[in-house]
Amino acid sequence: MILGSHVKMTADLYLEGSVKEALSYEANAMMIYTGAPQNTKRIPVERLHIQEAHQLMQEHGISPEHLIIHAPYIINPANSVKPEVAELAVEFLQMEIQRTKAIGSKYIVLHPGSYTTTDIETGIRTIISQLNSIRDIPDGIMICLETMAGKGSEVGYRFEQLAEIYEGLELKEHYAVCFDTCHTHDAGYDLTDLDSVLDEFDHYLGMDKMKVIHLNDSKNIRGARKDRHANLGQGMIGFDTLYNVCTHPRLEEIPKILETPYIDGKPPYKEEIEMLKNGV
Ligand code: FE
Ligand code: FE
Ligand code: ZN
């Protein structure tokens, strides 16, 4: 099981602290934001304790491929109403891609964005042209477009939409997909029939494109398009279905990352990881 959670990256230890947090949950994977997800303030990579972090990962048998980056959600590559916002987003994403490389990570998860006041087709076209304007992606780095819940004007809540984006991308070898269980459930996919959902994913995108899984329960019923994460077994997806995602042979090699909410201000990840390891 390649299993972990979102972890913090804060002073003084930064990335080294992130790895320590993951280890305290007995995780062998983790995901970080390179700074606050709501803004673009970033600490220089020289101060992130990158070597120490990798040393620690190596000691505990954690592969650098299982250290995943999430781009901040202020980035909206689907915004064609305010081109200056989209341009800033792409500039910042360029920097995040370089930071992903410097951190020694491989996968950076990105929300495709929201089309705001236009329409889904315009949104898709805008995403394609924005991403195609990024020419400098280091070898081995992959941008993982996340399956969205379809809240508001979000793009990418159907596999067809992600496939359409992918088709338009020029540097295809640098793009993949992050499958979020809360989001796909909210978008209407029936995860209790996981094989059919995976067949559909395979049909539109190819299973080899799925590189990261976000494992979350959902506060809402299937198809609600709300995007409110719940703790494992506390939502409308339920533990058994999420356990099936976690242990399914077709998904074995893919790192699974919990983004479930804190409980009384405390991270629930140690307990939730244990639940998944024990199957109860
Ligand atoms: Fe996300
Ligand atoms: Fe997610
Ligand atoms: Zn979400």
Q: What digits encode the pLDDT tens for the residues 250-274?
A: 999 999 999 999 999 999 999 999 9
Distance 261 CA to ligand 1 centre (A): 13
Q: Is the pTM of this model over 0.85?
A: yes
Q: Which ligand is nearest to the CA of 71?
A: 1
Q: Which residues surround the ion ligand 1 when the cut-off is CB under 5 Å?
A: 146
Cα(180) to ligand 2 centroid in Å equals 5
Q: Which two tokens stand for residue 67?
A: 């250290």
How many A from CA of 110 to the centre of ligand 1? 7
- Relative to the alpha carbon of 259, which ligand is closest? 2
Say how many Å lie between the CA of residue 11 and the centre of ligand 1.
Answer: 23
pLDDT-based confidence at residue 131 (cuts at 50, 70, 90) = very high
Residue type, 225: R
Q: How far is the CA of 211 from the centre of ligand 3 (A)?
A: 17
Q: Is the model's pLDDT at 187 over the cut of 80?
A: yes
The average confidence (pLDDT) of the chain is: 96
Ligand 3 center–CA 182 separation, angstroms: 7
Give per-residue pLDDT as tens, 42-55.
Answer: 899 999 999 999 99
